[in-house]
Structure 1
């Protein structure tokens, strides 16, 4: 429709240009609207369809991504708070500084860093399966979470007077995460797993007992976490995963372990106590120990119960008690009927 003054012009059909424009617009919109109306029931059913809580989805579920992000943040925060209480309690703090501890504790502490980064990353990766994110994203997010958590711990060490930020620890953290990520990318499974075992140590000498209480704590959990003399770390290999045409039991592993004993200090067994008295226990030899033992991969034991699967995943961080052959740095060999 064109207006000239108060006159409205129309074409020969009696339709003004303005009306014609509205007609054309309506005509062009009818087809998409019709398709949208026909598809509404489909979209409605898709919106109403819910994935069962325990099901691993094929596509990303954004709500689960947010849930896992929040849960991970909360768990890591709680873990760091607990560690701050259990590990740093009673130790003085100072400005951020570096510390070279590669020669300490016969490197059992470095093995612990490798295990911790691997363990955290492994179970974080299992959690992220629930999100439905693409496989590689799950692997990288889960795998690097162990390295990220341990890095924060290392920063906390950097403010402790007793320790400091250690590049050796950071390297060990990277090895643990790399072991997890590389296997997931290559095989989509963990054929070579890191495991842990520990047993309480007895310090019959009252001076050694006092020093051990100061260094390693007095409770069961403190001793398990801090006393390197009672810790063993294992590299557990699933045999069937490498020979799937064989008749080997799927759950059978062979584990190689490492530990050390006779350590009452980071570098040597001498110290000056709080009363200024010097103690020399150099006669207490610091011995490296190497182990060979059969093991069980609980995740290879078939079960349809999801709760049992979760328990098996947790149990798999621990070395199964079994007969064990030991050889140490003194050249001594020993066969343990059962070792943990």
Structure 2
């Protein structure tokens, strides 16, 4: 049975979308139970916060309180990729040793504040309105054609990547920063699931935690084994073409605005595993930035388990004649962090944007048994 609830006439989702709802409140949009890209808001905020500390032209050395973050994103994700740049040394230090302790405390404090703030905000603004219960579980592995689980993998992977970059900036070595990054991301996601477990309205989702573990573990394992990310988890989006008579259902499930739909609309999202061909094959003839990506999406999803639903007025809808479709893709991609540039600004931008699949031609095979070519696909 779908774990969806009507609250004051509005359907909303648990997990991190409770946080998102605080940022993007909506009186008309449903928040479906599972987490999709919204938790990456944390990744983007962290990245922008770190990047914002860079010393701008004409700025005094002490003119920006966040300047302590000045070079994190310029180092993060570069390593091997920029090691061949003239004048760049992978072991180059941007701070003095005496500053490392301050950076470590700052990064640790930032993580702690984010975790504690998330817990307090959710507990106060979301869970207090619903009855508490003893800790219990909820199995949602079969819902939404596992698009929600793909979202958890991507989210926790990206949180791990950004968190690890901050720990590395604080002075940790490759191994330490990888472990702390993965653990930080997994802990952040776990807070939300634990709160769900004590709420009568929801429950602790083992499936979500499994997906979180895959995302964090995938990042950590690659960093420890290869000291780089041979295979990255990326996000793509293309607005789904809804029939006119089902647009109200879309608006109710996923919101009316593009920002809401970008974050919540499973029918429009796709997730990619993007592998770097040169790193995987060891061939020196291939461009360092060239990737090959395998993607997944599902569409025609108008409910968690089926296309049958009842609205808040009690009207029953049966659109089971619409097939729910799985789609698999093969497409070239670009690892932006391996594009050679001496520009700190561009390296920072590339590190952030690398969360997203670069638009490119793609070959699709779907559950209807059809093969299709896309000239451009995100």
Q: Where on the TM-score scale, by shorter chain, does this alignment land: which range?
A: 0.7 to 0.9
> Match of 1:110?
149
> Match of 1:136?
175
Match of 1:94 among 121, 125, 131: 131
Shift of residue 308, structure 1, vs aligned partner: 1.1
1:69-95 CA-to-partner distances (Å, cap 9, x unmatched) read 22233445667789899xx97997333
Counterpart contact for 1:56–1:130, Cα < 8 Å: no
Higher RCO (C-alpha 8 Å, min separation 6): 2
Match of 1:318 among 356, 364, 373: 356
Measured in 2, the distance between the counterparts of 1:331 and 1:61 equals 56
Could you say if the C-alpha distance between residues 90 and 205 of structure 1 is closer, same or farther in structure 2, counting changes exceeding 3 Å? Answer: farther
> Match of 1:9?
none
Matched, 1:178 2:217: yes
CA RMSD of aligned residues (A): 2.7
Measured in 2, the distance between the counterparts of 1:89 and 1:100 equals 21
Gaps of 5+ in 2: 1-67, 72-92
Counterpart contact for 2:182–2:220, Cα < 8 Å: yes
> Match of 2:165?
126
Q: Which runs of 4+ in 1 moved over 6 A?
A: 78-85, 88-92
Measured in 2, the distance between the counterparts of 1:118 and 1:67 equals 22
Could you say if the C-alpha distance between residues 157 and 264 of structure 1 is closer, same or farther in structure 2, counting changes exceeding 3 Å? Answer: farther
* Larger-gyration structure (1/2): 1
Measured in 2, the distance between the counterparts of 1:307 and 1:294 equals 25
Q: How many residue pairs were aligned?
A: 287
Could you say if the C-alpha distance between residues 203 and 301 of structure 1 is closer, same or farther in structure 2, counting changes exceeding 3 Å? Answer: same
Measured in 1, the distance between the counterparts of 2:241 and 2:367 equals 21
Matched, 1:237 2:285: no
> Match of 1:227?
265
Counterpart contact for 2:235–2:272, Cα < 8 Å: yes
How do residues 136-175 of structure 1 correspond to structure 2 at under 5 angstroms?
Answer: 136-158=175-197, 163-175=202-214
Match of 1:253 among 269, 278, 291: 291
Counterpart contact for 1:56–1:132, Cα < 8 Å: no
Match of 1:298 among 336, 340, 343: 336
Could you say if the C-alpha distance between residues 179 and 161 of structure 1 is closer, same or farther in structure 2, counting changes exceeding 3 Å? Answer: same
Measured in 2, the distance between the counterparts of 1:164 and 1:186 equals 35
